[in-house]
């Protein structure tokens, strides 16, 4: 019997080993197949088709491979803004591309700066005498900003185009926390550091309201100016001054109202739109279905047009998403991961470094780790230039302080120079269900911070002192970088958020310009001649198993149920879900906050609406019940 058991264990071990070997071989073959350069012959003479099933971002997140495998539908995607810009510029020059087509039916939007950059690239296509056509069953602000750069804008007969404008209400939780008997201990510096207001108030403070109004007003004026320049016939004032009268003038028909206001050019369904494109670029050789036309997708187009790499190298590091401790990312700015990328880049003989920031900030310790890694380039006399994208606020500004020059866009959201910390405790809630705490202490700090028994006066005073010290350090860093005294920085800091135009007037930004402008300035500073340098994006060539699985998704497959609602009722439902997701994200932040924060909670949330409401809420409730 003992011998039989040993034989059985041996057979099981052999079986497990063979299974593991075959699994490893499968993934190695899969990796090799997916990383091979696609056949350039797959590029068709016709249209460059951009079916944007998701959001435009600075740096896409890589989804969990297990979730991808188990998902019953294709996931929404994220598109790197610079990839879209490069694809469009290539299309403008390539004779194989006769037109550019954007399908925005499942487009979730993006930051205003990113959209403006893509819009400028669309203008280059039109300047090359190539038509740009867009289609959607519904347009909102982000989609309209892109579509305004098209030569033909189509909308579904049952859809419409609606201008909502920036701003709106946000949830406040003070009364909820009071009912739950949860103490939110707030430590902050800054009159305008409204990141903590949702946890201590039931409404917006007058100071935060004034700052928010100024910011949203500037973004709104920039949006209208961009649309008016690209589409002069659009009657934005008619749509926004009296939207009810505007819609009723067309009998409540959203598509006809959009046409009357010059927001769209034609009304038709997908087949009619496709037939129209086919008259320009020809029919698809591989698909004779209704509405088909010859086209090449984004992924294939980029793979067939590899970037050229002449001359010296200029490093580019991307700091995108919330700044957190650890190795998180891409799409989230893990302090350890980015610092490691920067340190690895020191061995690559970069002539200069450009730091691309698109972040609302986050952990002070992670931001400081990134800043010191950037400073190591300055110590080696390597020029450092910062390019701000949609967001460079709070910790996002902290990491920009080593730069010799800062570029931004008028629609960039920046500033928010302030520090805060929030620590919840549950002594009252637990006492109601019969849970109390007791013990012995050898010092006033024994057992502190105590989230069960409450924070002692001593530890509260120490945390506040630590927050004030962090704010003082923030002021000193900004002052040294911008040639100001800490007192001068304090006058424009206090946690207030600024638009890029105002930030330039205040001296927080040096000049307006894109990432390309920042790269050109870095090259000039490094005394490199035009055409004798190329950018190297740190971490861009890292391939993970998750990224391999992402490539399995067909490029043009549309996620089930992902189409945007074509009417106001549907759009209201979408916004309601977005508000719920934001509320859950903010409550999660309260429950899971670690250390001092330089974070701009006033800044827009991600266009993809993460995190998902139901699962996140269940996790949060479970966590509180567990405590």
Q: What is the predicted pLDDT for the residue at 438? A: 83
Q: Is 406 helix (H, G, I), strand (E, B) or coil?
A: strand
Q: What share of the chain is helix, strand, coil (3-state, %, to 5)?
A: 45, 20, 35
Among 256, 284, 303, the domain boundary falls at 303
Q: Is 209 helix (H, G, I), strand (E, B) or coil?
A: helix
435 in a structural domain: yes
Split at pLDDT 50, 70, 90, the class of 346 is: very high
| 484 and 362, same domain (yes or no) | yes
Q: Give the end-to-end CA distance of the chain in Å, rounded to a whole number.
A: 50
- Distance in angstroms (rounded) separating the CA atoms of residues 103 and 138: 11
| Per-residue pLDDT reduced to its tens digit, 179-211 | 988 888 888 876 665 678 888 889 988 888 888
504 in a structural domain: yes
483 in a structural domain: yes
Among 303, 327, 357, the domain boundary falls at 303
| 204 and 136, same domain (yes or no) | no
- Distance in angstroms (rounded) separating the CA atoms of residues 404 and 332: 25
Mean pLDDT computed over 486-509: 93
| 51 and 153, same domain (yes or no) | yes
Beta-bridged to residue 384, according to DSSP, are 353
226 in a structural domain: no
| 271 and 359, same domain (yes or no) | no
- Distance in angstroms (rounded) separating the CA atoms of residues 190 and 195: 10
| 258 and 318, same domain (yes or no) | no
Q: Average pLDDT over the chain, rounded to whole?
A: 84
Q: What is the DSSP track for 255-281? A: HHHHHHTTS-SEE--HHHHHHHHHHHH
Q: What is the predicted pLDDT for the residue at 140? A: 92
- Distance in angstroms (rounded) separating the CA atoms of residues 584 and 618: 10
| 268 and 319, same domain (yes or no) | no
φ, ψ for residue 307 (rounded to 5)? Answer: -65, 145
As given in the structure block, the two tokens for residue 234 are: 């659009």
Q: What is the predicted pLDDT for the residue at 31? A: 58
φ, ψ for residue 4 (rounded to 5)? Answer: -65, -40
| 422 and 468, same domain (yes or no) | yes
218 in a structural domain: no
pLDDT of 39 > 50? The answer is: no
Among 255, 286, 303, the domain boundary falls at 303
Residues in the chain: 627
480 is catalytic: no
Beta-bridged to residue 153, according to DSSP, are 134
| 318 and 434, same domain (yes or no) | yes
| Residues in Cβ contact with 313 at an 8 Å cutoff, skipping those fewer than 6 apart | 348, 349, 350, 351, 533, 534, 535, 536
As given in the structure block, the two tokens for residue 185 are: 């201990």
pTM: 0.84
| 321 and 399, same domain (yes or no) | yes
Helix ranges (DSSP H) in 71-164? 81-93, 112-127, 141-147
5 in a structural domain: no
Four-residue CA torsion sign, 581, 583, 586, 590 = negative
Residue 427, CA atoms < 13 Å, CB-side half-sphere = 13
Q: Is 154 helix (H, G, I), strand (E, B) or coil?
A: strand
| 386 and 345, same domain (yes or no) | yes
Question: Do the Cβ atoms of 69 and 545 come closer than 8 Å?
Answer: no
Q: Which of 130, 193, 369, 484 is catalytic?
A: 193
| Pairing verdict, β 54-57 and 77-80 | parallel
pLDDT of 177 > 80? The answer is: yes
Q: Which of 194, 363, 387, 394 is catalytic?
A: 394
| 102 and 116, same domain (yes or no) | yes
| Residues in Cβ contact with 423 at an 8 Å cutoff, skipping those fewer than 6 apart | 184, 185, 187, 449, 451, 455, 463, 593
What are the C-alpha distances in Å from 520 to residues 1, 10, 524?
A: 77, 64, 6
618 is catalytic: no
17 in a structural domain: no
Mean pLDDT computed over 92-114: 94
CATH number of the domain encompassing residue 110: 3.90.226.10
State the Rg of the chain over Cα. 27
| 248 and 201, same domain (yes or no) | no
Q: What percent of the chain has pLDDT over 90?
A: 56
Q: What is the predicted pLDDT for the residue at 588? A: 62
Instruction: Catalogue the E-assigned strands of 148-304.
Output: 152-161, 183-189, 266-267, 295-297
Four-residue CA torsion sign, 11, 13, 16, 17 = negative
Query: Range with the lowest mean pLDDT among 54-63, 69-78, 348-357, 521-530?
Result: 69-78
Q: Is 531 left (phi over 0), alpha (psi -120 to 50) or beta?
A: left
| Residues in Cβ contact with 470 at an 8 Å cutoff, skipping those fewer than 6 apart | 189, 364, 419, 596, 598
Q: Which domain, by its residues, includes 254?
A: 40-163+231-303
| Per-residue pLDDT reduced to its tens digit, 426-479 | 888 888 888 888 888 888 888 887 877 888 888 888 988 998 899 999 999 999
Q: What is the DSSP track for 312-372? A: EEEEEEEEES-EESSS--SSSEEHHHHHHHHHHHGGG--SEEEEEEEE-EEEHHHHHHHHH
pLDDT of 1 > 80? The answer is: no
Domain count, the chain: 2
33 in a structural domain: no
């Amino acid at each position: 019997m003992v011998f039989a058991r040993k034989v059985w264990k041996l057979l099981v071990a052999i079986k497990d080993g063979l299974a593991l070997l075959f699994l490893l071989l499968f993934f190695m073959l899969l990796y090799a197949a997916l990383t091979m350069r696609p056949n350039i012959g797959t590029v068709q003479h016709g249209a460059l088709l951009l079916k944007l099933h998701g959001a435009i971002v600075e740096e896409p997140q890589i989804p969990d491979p297990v979730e991808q495998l188990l998902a019953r539908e294709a996931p929404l995607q994220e598109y790197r803004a610079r990839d879209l810009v490069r694809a469009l510029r290539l299309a403008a020059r390539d004779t194989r591309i006769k037109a550019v087509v954007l399908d925005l039916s499942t487009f979730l939007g993006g930051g205003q700066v990113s959209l403006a950059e893509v819009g400028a690239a669309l203008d280059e296509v039109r300047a090359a005498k190539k038509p740009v056509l867009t289609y959607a069953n519904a347009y909102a602000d982000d989609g309209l900003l892109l579509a305004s750069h098209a030569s033909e804008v189509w909308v579904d007969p049952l859809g419409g185009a609606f201008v909502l404008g920036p701003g709106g209400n946000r949830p406040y939780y003070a009364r909820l926390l009071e009912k739950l008997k949860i103490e939110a201990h707030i430590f902050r510096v800054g009159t305008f550091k409204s990141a903590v207001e949702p946890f201590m108030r039931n409404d917006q403070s007058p100071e935060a309201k004034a700052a928010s109004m100024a910011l949203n007003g500037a973004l709104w004026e920039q949006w209208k100016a961009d649309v008016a320049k690209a589409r002069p016939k659009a009657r934005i004032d008619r749509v926004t001054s009296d939207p009810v009268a505007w819609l009723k003038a067309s009998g409540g028909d959203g598509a006809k109202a959009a046409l009357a206001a010059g927001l769209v050019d034609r009304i038709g369904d997908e087949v009619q739109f496709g037939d129209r494109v086919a008259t320009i670029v020809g029919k698809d050789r591989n698909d004779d279905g209704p509405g088909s036309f010859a086209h090449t997708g984004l992924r294939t187009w980029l793979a067939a047009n590899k970037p050229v790499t002449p001359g010296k190298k200029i490093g580019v590091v991307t700091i995108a998403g919330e700044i957190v401790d650890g190795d998180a990312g891409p799409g989230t700015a893990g302090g350890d991961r980015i610092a490691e990328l920067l340190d690895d880049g020191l061995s690559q003989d970069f002539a200069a470094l450009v730091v691309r920031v698109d972040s609302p900030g986050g952990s002070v310790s992670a931001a400081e780790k990134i800043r010191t890694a950037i400073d190591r380039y300055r110590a080696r006399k390597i020029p450092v230039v910062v390019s701000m994208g949609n967001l460079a606020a709070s910790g996002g500004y902290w990491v920009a302080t080593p730069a010799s020059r800062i570029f931004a866009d008028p629609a960039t959201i920046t500033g928010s120079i302030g520090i805060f910390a929030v620590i919840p405790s549950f002594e009252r809630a637990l006492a109601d269900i019969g849970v109390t705490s007791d013990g012995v202490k050898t010092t006033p700090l024994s057992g502190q911070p105590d989230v069960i028994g409450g924070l002692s006066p001593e530890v509260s005073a120490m945390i506040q002192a630590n927050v004030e010290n962090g704010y003082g350090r923030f002021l000193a860093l900004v002052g040294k970088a911008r040639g100001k005294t800490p007192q001068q920085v304090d006058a424009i800091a206090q946690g207030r958020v600024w638009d890029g135009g105002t930030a330039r007037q205040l001296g927080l930004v040096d000049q307006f310009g894109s990432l390309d402008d920042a790269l050109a300035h870095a090259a000039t500073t490094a005394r490199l001649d035009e055409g004798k340098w190329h950018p190297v994006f740190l971490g861009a060539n890292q391939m993970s198993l998750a990224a391999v699985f992402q490539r399995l998704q067909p490029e043009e497959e549309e996620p089930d149920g992902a189409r945007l609602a074509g009417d106001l009722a549907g759009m209201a439902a979408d916004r309601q879900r977005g508000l719920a997701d934001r509320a859950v994200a903010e409550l999660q932040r309260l429950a899971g906050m670690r250390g001092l924060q330089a974070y701009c909670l006033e800044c827009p949330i991600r266009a993809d609406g993460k995190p998902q409401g139901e699962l996140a809420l269940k996790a949060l409730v479970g966590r509180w019940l567990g405590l």
